């Protein structure tokens, strides 16, 4: 499991998607709240 995760991380690291993922994860919470408000509206 750890080996597979590390391998995937290395492959993703080359594409630099992991670097963008953390940023998206941080931006995910705000959008989530907005998404909940949108349907409520």
Q: Please give, one letter per residue, the 3-state secondary structure of the chain.
A: CHHHHHHHHHHHHHHCHHHHHHHHHHHCHHHHHHHHHHHHC
Report the pLDDT value the prediction gives residue 6, as an integer from 0 to 100. 53
Model confidence pLDDT, tens digit, residues 1-41: 555 555 555 555 555 555 555 555 555 555 555 556 665 55
Measured CA distances, 1 to 6, 8, 9, 13, 14 (Å): 8, 10, 12, 18, 20
Report the pLDDT value the prediction gives residue 24, as an integer from 0 to 100. 54
Q: pTM to 2 decimals?
A: 0.14
């Amino acid at each position: 499991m750890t080996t597979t995760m590390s391998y995937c991380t290395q492959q993703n690291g080359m594409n630099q998607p992991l670097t963008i993922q953390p940023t998206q994860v941080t931006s995910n919470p705000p959008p989530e709240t907005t998404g909940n408000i949108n349907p409520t509206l």
